[in-house]
Amino acid sequence: MSLTPDQLQRIALLARIAVSPEEARGVTDRLNQVLGLIDQLQAVDTCGIEPMSHALDAQLAVQQRLRPDAVTEPDRRAEFQAFAPAVEGGLYLVPKVIE
Amino acid sequence: MLNSTVIELSDALASKKVSSVELTRLFLDRIKGLNGRLNAFITVDEERSLKQARVADERRSGKGNSGEAGPLTGIPIAHKDIFCTKGLRTTCGSRMLADYASPYDAHVIERFNAAGAVLLGKTNMDEFAMGSSNETSHFGPVRNPWDLERVPGGSSGGSAAAVAARMAPAATGTDTGGSIRQPAALSGVSGLKPTYGVVSRYGMIAFASSLDQGGPLGKCAADLALLMNAMAGFDARDSTSLERPAEDYGRELNLDLRGLRIGLPKEYFADGVDADVLACVREATRWFEAQGAKTVEITLPNTGLAVPVYYVIAPAEASSNLSRFDGVRYGHRAKEYADLNDMYRRTRAEGFGTEVKRRILIGTYVLSHGYYDAYYLQAQKVRRLIAKDFADAFSRCDLIMGPTSPSTAFVLGAKTDDPVQMYLNDIFTIPAPLAGLPGLSIPCGFDGKGLPVGLQIMGNYFAEAKMLGAAHRYQQATDWHLRAPKETPL
């Protein structure tokens, strides 16, 4: 698989990262180097192999813990918003989304 | 004092030969003298450290109300800048978080605070722990104390260099694909990546959550055991933290090596590994044989696939984890933008460095519609094959030994233009975290250029105490771990 600069722009949009037209060529080239590396996986026969999504699931019966459905955290909004880029009246400010 | 182990410093504090304030000042002065050249620390707050030291001294003399003193009370420890520290900025090596002051402490920090350790400073690292040379840091590269023109390894490069240059008696790090063990090897110190789930990830800024694991770096295995006793333990705030009884990681330091079966994977002793590295590692394994251990040749046939698997799984998880950096709740926000989407895109383009953006883009691609099965699911399947290689190997041996890294420290800038060459350098450290297994690296000699070589010891799940025991026995008979770099004389 190899990406074109146009395909890169689509991925960059999904990732919410601006890639300028000037950098697009270089970024695409490097990404294609990495894709060349990971393309080696296509040749591996994994028929009947279960995907491993947890680091210990191969060896240990890992059970997802559940906790009681109770409030455990106090309200620390003012503290958390103290270092936010833009807040007003306890709300996070973002550019206007709807007209 | 500078060249003492944590255990020796702990004894000196207990017998009142030195106070924590004196010890902390000693290391703060050392940092002041060397950091301009090495760039191992991003943030140091002398007042805060000395205040903690005074409290520790009170605790040691039975005054105050902070509880009974323990072995780490009053010991200065450096922390990788990935661990959130309340009231002290936590940057993760990124412009995105250059001014971020966490409102809470990481579990690991809480543990060291409870033990009465002194926070010496926050160490430099590859941005968001993505790198093997500490060159991706927004705060500039760290230099290797053995040769200032070379990298210290990464991503915990600042922690490794700080311990190597005797700017800190010990430090914390994190390991996702080798980020504790590889810098430990390249900088000539000892470092342990525990079994996944042993050290809480709470407050440890996430890179790839199915792989990330915190661990200690220090001069010797016995110190690592002491630090592990403080760091490890169940924490309900990390959903993958394991509920296990507390263990003493130093309980097997006097491990009987007779009859110990040491597996030597043939893939780790192959072409592509520096001859000097192989010679040092082989000499170390011969030492174990001379003590009565038995070496057996084993095979980990999917070793060559570990790097490709890692560069699907780690970027995929990173692209998801790092989506939280959007310029809304914390961190950098672009100054100029047209609309909300443009604000996100510019914020992230400005806040992240080249390597972080590269990995987010790869992760986004392998998870995108039409490619998920071919890349991500396939990588997860091959990940299981790699874990199975280890399961088969550990039916034939107790520990696995080999080189930590195929080469010694490389020159700054040597691999920055070729990401794949940089990635392949981690071929021997990536397999263990993919399988969730513990691994450690200890110094085992020097190459022809006088650069340190690391011996990697891997064990089965929860075999940390045994691995540390084997390492400790070796360190009792050798002095590689006590040699200080000539560039930063004591």
Instruction: Report helix, strand or coil for B41.
Output: strand
B155 is catalytic: yes
Active site residue B80: yes
| CB atoms A53 and B380 under 8 Å | yes
Structure confidence at residue B487 as a pLDDT band (50, 70, 90) = confident
| Tens of pLDDT, residues A3-28 | 999 999 999 999 999 999 999 999 99
Residue B64 has pLDDT above 90, yes or no: no
Rounded to a whole number of angstroms, the distance between the first and last alpha carbons of chain A is 41
Percentage of residues in chain B with pLDDT exceeding 70? 100
Confidence check: pLDDT of A62 > 80: no
Report the residue of A34, A66, A77, A93 to disrupt the B interface, i.e. the one with the largest count of B CBs within 10 Å. Answer: A34
**CA–CA dist B119, B484 (Å, integer):** 23
Task: Lowest mean pLDDT of A58-67, B168-177, B343-352, name the range.
Answer: A58-67
CA distance B425 to B454: 14
Beta bridge partners of B174: B214
Select from B312, B346, B357 the Cβ nearest to the Cβ of A38.
B312
Beta-carbon contacts of A7 under 8 Å, excluding residues fewer than 6 positions away, are: none
How many whole angstroms separate alpha carbon A58 and alpha carbon B386? 10
What's CA A86's distance to the chain center, in Å?
24
Q: Looking at the complex, does the CB of residue B86 fall below 8 Å from at least one CB of chain A? A: no
Higher pLDDT, B192 or B419: B192
Average pLDDT over residues B126-151: 98
- pLDDT-derived band at B486 (thresholds 50, 70, 90) equals confident
pLDDT in tens, B4-39: 999 999 999 999 999 999 999 999 999 999 999 999
CB-based contacts of B148: which residues, under 8 Å, 6+ apart? Answer: B37, B38, B487
SS3 (DSSP) at B219? coil
B137 is catalytic: no
For residue A9, give the chain B residue with the closest CA.
Answer: B361
Packing angle, helices A21-38 and B354-367, rounded to 10: 60
Residues of B in contact with A72 (CB under 8 A): none
Q: How many residues does chain B have?
A: 490
Whole-number pLDDT of residue A98: 77
Q: Is B311 within 8 Å of A37 when comparing Cβ atoms?
A: yes
Q: Does B296 touch chain A (CB under 8 A)?
A: no
Q: Specify the pLDDT at position A99.
A: 67
Query: What is the reported pLDDT for A97?
Result: 83
Q: What is the mean pLDDT of residues A74-79?
A: 93
Angle (nearest 5°) at CA B327 between B324 and B331: 85
- What distance in Å separates residue B95's CA from the closest CA in chain A? 14
Residues B21, B55 contacting (CB under 8 angstroms)? no
pTM greater than 0.95: yes
Choose among B446, B411, B453: nearest CA to B428. B453
pLDDT score recorded for residue A57: 78
Model confidence at B84: pLDDT above 70 = yes
- Give the whole-angstrom CA distance, residue B161 versus residue B183: 8
Q: What is the model's pLDDT at position A59?
A: 56
Higher per-residue pLDDT: B64 or B376: B376
Q: What is the mean pLDDT of residues B271-278?
A: 95
Q: Cβ of A47 under 8 Å from any chain B Cβ?
A: no
* DSSP-assigned states of every residue in B273-326: S-HHHHHHHHHHHHHHHHTT-EEEEE--TTHHHHHHHHHHHHHHHHHHHGGG-S
Exposure string of B171-207, with b = 16+ CB inside 10 Å and e = fewer, is bbbbbbbbbbbbbbbbbbbbbbbbbbbbbbbbbbbbb
Has residue A63 got a pLDDT over 70? no
The minimal CB distance from B344 to the residues A16, A30, A92 is found for A16
Q: Does residue A78 sit at the B interface (CB-CB below 8 Å)?
A: no
- Least confident range of A72-86, B273-287, B470-484: A72-86
Residue B427: CA atoms inside 13 Å, Cβ hemisphere, count? 23
